Amino acid sequence: MNHPVKIKNALVSVYYKDGLAPLVELLNKYGVTFYSTGGTETFIKDLGIDVVPVEDLTSYPSILGGRVKTLHPKVFGGILARRPLESDQQQLAQYEIPEIDLVIVDLYPFEETVASGASEQDIIEKIDIGGISLIRAAAKNFNDVVIISSKNDYKELEEILANQEGNTSLEQRKEFAKRAFNTSSHYDTAIFNYFNQENPLQVFKQSEQKAQVLRYGENPHQKGIFFGDLDKMFDKLNGKELSYNNLVDVDAAVALIDEFTEPTFAILKHTNACGVASRSTIKQAWLDALACDPVSAFGGVLITNGQVDAATAEEINKLFFEVLIAPSYSEEAIAILTAKKNRIILVRKEVTLPGQQFKTLLNGVILQDKDNTIEGPEQMVTVTQVQPTAEQLEDLYFANKIVKHTKSNTIVFAKNGTLLASGVGQTSRVDALKQAIEKAISFGFDLKGCAMASDAFFPFPDCVEIASGAGIAAVLQPGGSIKDQLSIDMANEKGISMVTTGVRHFKH
């Protein structure tokens, strides 16, 4: 064993005590002396095991309402002393400081206290000082000291000691030190981000403790990991694990469906909607969303904002799909949808999503606020002689919701609460428009009288002219081009209405 260390003395002071008893009892079996404080001291005594109060070691009581208990040279000296260094050993002897070979410490629940909506005073009191210092000190001196900073590691240390007769190896102590520094850095990140909400410093700090290794990344030759807590977001009723591409599509699907309050179904492929419909029932919304583009729907991600009943499930069951997301399902629907083992069925939970998004870029990270703006009829300014009807304004609103979540450059056609077609991710807006027209025609949709939304302004009047020729009756665009008037004049010439919103919705 590489540099084995037998544990003689242990400092134990934890907030969470579940799972601790078997480890303490094993350490006691190996003759370990325990030093402890407060509730942990009582916990150990209740096990019938002798324990030395830290106050007896330091000759100082816990003071300042418990803010200062372990912050003392007799504690930190015993942890940080370099065992092979003669001068350190002389000072330990001079000041009667015992070597502390094991530190079991966790931290006050800062994040949980913030999440509970507690007062600022309560939150500040949950900023751990002694615990974080003990963790760092023990981890720094991993050459001679074991640090356990999480209840999740109790069992592993117990197994190591049982298998190695109370000894630990250097490699094992270094592994625990790595985990401890992860604990401390995550904790400090949470505290910093709490303080950094008002007049924030322009720095980037994120820490996510939960990770899920994916089968692979975007392609099989790429590794992929999801950092986050999917269990808070979804209950999985059926199917294989979500892949990297599944997760990207699910994220896009959730963002899109949250634009709608009326019963709506959406079908997405590669983050773009290929079918969306709002109806009085979820079943009808599904049928009409599928009719938008049944070819692209194959293998897609499906999402709705209402309960999936048996009748709807029977219809969905006719299609091969990757993922289905809904807030709830009837028991009959679950039985129908889970008959095929690989399809992923998710129940979406109520979770507050982050207000910002970021990704790696070049040699850094780019961060922005999420696009949480959507302009309804009240924000639409008519700029043409022809006024849009109330129905057209609603169609423009519907189209604008979809265009916001479609890859730029994009054009979206909609009518009567239904996506008819879209042109997505094109290098020119004219190409996006032509693609949308071609798709609509290929599925037999009549564009006469329908609404069209664009994610950005028209630099030239050609899009308006082409749209008019296809039968478009109302157009929405953000406006802002120095040549806006050319498009307005074309709309007036063709007798169609145009509204501007003043808000661009690029999605790169």
DSSP state letters, 394-462 = HHHHHHHHHHHTSPSS-EEEEETTEEEEEE-S-SSHHHHHHHHHHHHHHTT---TT-EEEESS--SSTH
CA distance 215 to 224: 7
CA torsion, points 228, 229, 235, 237, in degrees to nearest 10?
Answer: 60
| CB-based contact 101:80 (threshold 8 Å) | no
**What's the first-to-final CA gap in the chain, in angstroms?**
54
Active site residue 17: no
| CB-based contact 271:376 (threshold 8 Å) | no
CB contact set of 249 (below 8 Å; sequence gap of 6+): 268, 269, 270, 271, 300, 301, 322, 323
CA distance 244 to 227: 11
Three-state SS for 343?
Answer: coil
Helices of type H across 36-169: 38-46, 54-58, 73-80, 86-94, 110-115, 120-125, 130-140, 154-163
| CB-based contact 252:276 (threshold 8 Å) | no
β 411-415/418-423 pair status: antiparallel
CA distance 433 to 413: 9
CA distance 275 to 267: 5
Bridge partners of 470?
none
Name the phi and psi angles at 124, rounded to 5.
-60, -40
Q: Which among 126, 140, 186, 236 is annotated as catalytic?
A: 140
- Give the DSSP H or E segment for 26: helix 21-29
Active site residue 508: no
Q: What radius of gyration do the chain's Cα atoms show?
A: 31
| CB-based contact 440:461 (threshold 8 Å) | no
Name the phi and psi angles at 92, rounded to 5.
-60, -45
Q: Which among 8, 151, 270, 434 is annotated as catalytic?
A: 270
| CB-based contact 23:189 (threshold 8 Å) | no
| CB-based contact 234:347 (threshold 8 Å) | yes
Bond prior to 219 in cis (omega within 30° of 0): no
Residue 461: other Cβ atoms inside 10 A:
19
CB contact set of 302 (below 8 Å; sequence gap of 6+): 253, 265, 266, 267, 268, 316, 321, 323, 324, 325
Q: Which residues are catalytic?
A: 140, 270
